[in-house]
């Protein structure tokens, strides 16, 4: 990207927010020959990319499809995802010689550093002659005929296409703001209430007292909430539950219904326990064959079944077996935006074109990336949405 020396007032396209979606969109529009200005209020670009995937950026998922996204309008993401696929992004990554690997479940990570992806996007912006202002705050946006006037701390700039790519509310210390939602509302678009998603969950006080010191213990579990179901690792923390299975299910949790946790997935726990029904060993010792010992002890104590198998009896054995396959836990809440990976909800898609991301009621206004009510699963899906929606808008803005 080139710093605008004598900054023009008039632009074809202004993109606000230099994250994943904003940089992709700016690069695409610039490479089409549009005069593009990218405005970022933070002092660095792509901070979420930098910290993503433990510093290695899980930049896409080879299996990404509409079924991996939550939205009040589940079909909305279909068109953009189909027109800019994981394969296309991988080709771009390969064209920059960035080495990558599949970790698991189709998740692609950089071998070296997430900074490679940021450098690639900056370079793509430079190829499109994108100019930028950073750090630069936007004070307000008004409409003047068919153009937008963007008032910034460095003066006013004008454009015919305005792209809002300011992301969600997660990790506020890295520049997240509700700016995009406010602009949507200003122009008469509804906003689906945002909430933290892909986020650890807190134990209620009684569960915290029982399980809080199991922090660090991880088990393979299947967790269900309504129709959603994920089998991955479940991690006990000093505040509650985390790990991929919990992060995934958190996006579906409504804050009221208990989660159903299967601690012995793939196993009929009652049948298994019956094999030990005559044993003198205590249930927690039997369970320690399939679960970490301390978890087995705490779980049995909490359920009043830390007893020898031979004295449990068929009734209690059956109840314990059922509860091991369906341990109901009602979290007290999430750990909030500071610990969430994404924000679910956002600009309501009913007034956006699924092909271009343009507001159907405000010609020239576009919303892309996480600010839109499209939320991906854990595993590279959110970046794929950022690339695909940024690409869609970048082809027409
Ligand atoms: C810890 C963590 C790890 C993650 N790991 C992954 C991962 O491995 N894979 C994956 O797919 N997803 C991951 N995500 C999610 C992913 O980072 C986001 O979904 C993605 O970055 C969204 O892209 P975006 O461009 O829409 O928004 P952002 O990347 O959030 O970019 C928005 C930009 O807008 C700027 N901005 C905000 N308000 C204003 C304003 N008023 N004026 C000007 N600029 C503004 C922000 O400073 C920011 O630069 C992770 C998220 C977190 C927090």
Tens digits of residue pLDDT in 73-99: 999 999 999 999 999 999 999 999 999
More confident residue, 5 or 40: 40
Region 149-159: what's the mean pLDDT?
96
> Going by C-beta distance under 8 Å and a sequence separation of 6 or more, which residues neighbour residue 335?
196, 199, 200, 201, 202, 239, 240
What is the C-alpha separation between 8 and 68, in angstroms, rounded? 41
Region 168-174: what's the mean pLDDT?
93
Half-sphere exposure of 108 (CA within 13 A, CB side): 21
Q: Which atom, in ligand 1's list, is nearest to the CA of 136?
A: 43
Ligand 1, atom 23: closest residue by C-alpha: 20
Residue 196's pLDDT is what? 98
- pTM (predicted TM-score): 0.96
Under DSSP, the state recorded for 76 is: T
Ligand 1 geometric centre to CA of 287 (Å): 42
List, in sequence order, every residue forming a beta bridge with 151; answer none if it has no partner: 140, 156
CA distances from 329 to 174, 223, 239 (A): 32, 10, 14
CA distances from 38 to 126, 159, 294, 385 (A): 11, 12, 53, 19
Residue owning tokens 């710093």: 3
Ligand 1 geometric centre to CA of 319 (Å): 45
Residue owning tokens 């044993």: 279
What is the C-alpha separation between 86 and 172, in angstroms, rounded? 28
CB atoms within 10 A of CB 179: 18
Ligand 1 geometric centre to CA of 48 (Å): 5
Q: Which of 109, 136, 341, 346 to mutate to test the pocket of ligand 1 (most atoms within 8 A of CB)?
A: 341
pLDDT tens digits along 1-39 = 444 444 679 999 999 999 999 999 999 999 999 999 999
- State what percent of residues in the chain have pLDDT above 90: 96
Asked whether the beta carbons of 64 and 384 are under 8 A apart, the reply is yes
CA distances from 290 to 44, 230, 247, 267 (A): 47, 19, 23, 10
Residue 50's pLDDT is what? 97
Ligand 1, atom 42: closest residue by C-alpha: 41
Asked whether the beta carbons of 150 and 39 are under 8 A apart, the reply is yes
pLDDT tens digits along 331-389 = 999 999 999 999 999 999 999 999 999 999 999 999 999 999 999 999 999 999 999 99
Ligand 1, atom 19: closest residue by C-alpha: 382
What would the DSSP string read from start to end of 101-124? EE-STTEEEESS-THHHHHHHHHH
What is the C-alpha separation between 94 and 82, in angstroms, rounded? 20
**Smallest Cα–Cα separation from 226: which of 198, 256, 192, 270?**
256
Ligand 1, atom 10: closest residue by C-alpha: 380
What would the DSSP string read from start to end of 120-137? HHHHHHHHTT-EEE-S--
Q: How big is the CA angle at 232 (ends 228 and 237), to the nearest 5 degrees?
A: 105
Asked whether the beta carbons of 159 and 14 are under 8 A apart, the reply is yes
**Smallest Cα–Cα separation from 41: which of 181, 170, 166?**
166
Helix/strand/coil (H/E/C) assignment for every residue in 363-383:
CCEEECHHHECCEECCCCHHH
pLDDT tens digits along 49-73 = 999 999 999 999 999 999 999 999 9
What is the C-alpha separation between 356 and 298, in angstroms, rounded? 53
Asked whether the beta carbons of 129 and 2 are under 8 A apart, the reply is yes
Which residues, judged by CB distance below 6 Å to any ligand atom, belong to the binding site of ligand 1?
16-22, 39-42, 47-48, 51-53, 57-58, 138, 165-167, 170-171, 175-177, 179, 341-342, 369-371, 380-383, 386
């Amino acid at each position: 990207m080139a710093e605008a020396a004598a900054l023009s007032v008039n632009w074809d396209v202004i993109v606000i927010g230099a994250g994943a979606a904003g940089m992709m969109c700016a690069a695409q529009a610039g490479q089409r020959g549009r005069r593009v200005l990218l405005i970022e209020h933070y002092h660095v670009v792509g901070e979420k990319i930098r910290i993503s995937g433990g510093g290695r950026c899980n930049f896409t998922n080879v299996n990404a499809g509409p079924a991996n996204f939550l939205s009040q309008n589940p079909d909305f993401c279909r068109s953009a995802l189909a027109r800019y696929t994981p394969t296309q992004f991988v080709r771009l990554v390969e064209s920059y010689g960035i080495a990558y690997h599949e970790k698991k479940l189709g998740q692609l990570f950089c071998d070296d550093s997430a900074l490679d992806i940021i450098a690639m996007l900056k370079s793509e912006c430079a190829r499109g002659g994108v100019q930028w202002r950073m750090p630069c705050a936007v004070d307000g946006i008004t409409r003047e005929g068919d153009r937008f006037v963007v008032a910034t701390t460095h003066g006013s700039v004008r454009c015919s296409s305005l792209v809002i790519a300011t992301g969600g509310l997660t990790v506020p210390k890295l520049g997240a703001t509700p700016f995009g939602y406010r602009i949507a509302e200003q122009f008469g678009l509804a906003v689906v209430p945002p909430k933290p998603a892909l986020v650890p969950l807190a134990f209620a006080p009684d569960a915290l007292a029982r399980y809080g010191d199991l922090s660090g213990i991880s088990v393979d579990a299947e967790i269900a909430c309504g129709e959603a179901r994920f089998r991955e690792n479940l991690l006990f923390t000093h505040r509650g539950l985390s790990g991929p299975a919990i992060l995934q299910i958190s996006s579906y949790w409504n804050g009221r219904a208990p989660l159903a946790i299967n601690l012995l997935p793939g196993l009929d726990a009652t049948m298994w326990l019956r094999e030990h029904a005559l044993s003198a060993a205590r249930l927690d010792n039997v369970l320690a064959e399939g679960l970490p010992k301390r978890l087995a002890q705490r779980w049995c104590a909490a359920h009043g079944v830390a007893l020898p198998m031979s004295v449990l009896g068929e009734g209690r054995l059956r109840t314990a077996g059922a509860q091991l396959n369906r341990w109901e836990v009602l979290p007290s809440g999430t750990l909030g935006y500071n610990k969430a990976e994404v924000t679910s909800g956002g600009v309501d898609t009913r007034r956006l074109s699924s092909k271009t991301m343009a507001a159907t009621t405000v010609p020239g206004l576009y919303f892309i990336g996480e600010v839109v009510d499209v939320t991906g699963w854990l595993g590279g899906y959110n970046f794929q949405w950022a690339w695909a929606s940024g690409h869609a808008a970048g082809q027409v803005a």
